[in-house]
Amino acid sequence: MRIDTLLDTLADAIASNATLSAWATTTYGKAHKVFINMDQHAPPEASDAPFVVIYKQSKTEGQGVDPRSHGIGVRCAVNDSTKATPTHTNQTEYNGGSRLETMRRYTRNAVTGASMGNCTVDSIATEYGPLENFPWFVCDMSITILEDALIGVDPFE
C-alpha cells in the first residue's frame, strides 16, 4: 500500500469516527477537525480545537524487507483552560489533560479499527507536550504499521 493511501485511509477513519465526533461535540460544542499535514508557520488555531493532525514520519522498503514498515504521526490537541471540580480543597486539576487522553484513546481506536488491507498496527508510542504550552494540551502518537510483502507487488511502492 502506498503511504499516501494509508495516510488518507487513516485520516478518513479519524474524521468519520462517530465516537470521537460525539465526544468532541458533547465536550466542546463542535466536531473535531482533521488536518492532513500541517503548516508549522501557520498552525491550527484555538478555534480549530479539538483537532488531529496526521502526517508521514518514515517508511522502510526494499527487496529484503518483509514486512515493510510505515511510520505515521498523529497529533491530538485540545485548547482547554477549564478546571475540574477538586476532590480535595488543596488540589487543582485542569480538564485539558484528561480530555486530551480521552481524545487520544478515541483517535487510537479509529486508527486501529481502520480497514488497511494487509497492514497491521505494530506499535504506538505516545509523547505528551510540555506544560509550558498551557492552555494547549497536545500529544503525538508515533504509529508503526507493518505491511506484509505480496508476490507481484513492487517492493519499493
Does 156 map to a domain?
no
Is the pLDDT at 157 greater than 70, yes or no? Answer: no
Distance between CA atoms of 45 and 53, rounded to whole angstroms?
A: 12
Q: What is residue 52's predicted lDDT score, i.e. its pLDDT?
A: 98
> How sure is the predictor about 154, in pLDDT bands with cuts at 50, 70 and 90?
low
Of 71, 69, 70, 67, the closest CA to residue 149 belongs to 67
Q: What is the pLDDT of residues 40-61, one digit of tens each?
A: 888 899 999 999 999 999 988 7
Does 73 map to a domain?
yes
Q: What is the pLDDT of residues 64-106, one digit of tens each?
A: 767 888 999 999 999 999 998 888 889 888 899 999 999 999 9
Mean pLDDT of the chain: 90
Q: C-alpha cell of 70?
A: 510505515
Is the pLDDT at 149 greater than 90, yes or no? Answer: no
Does 128 map to a domain?
yes
Q: C-alpha cell of 8?
A: 488518507
CATH number at residue 10: 3.30.70
Domain that holds residue 80: 3-147
Does 153 map to a domain?
no
Residue 142 to residues 28, 80, 90, 132: CA-CA distances in angstroms?
Answer: 26, 24, 36, 22
| Beta strands in the chain, from DSSP E residues, in sequence order | 33-36, 51-60, 68-79, 119-128, 136-147
Does 152 map to a domain?
no
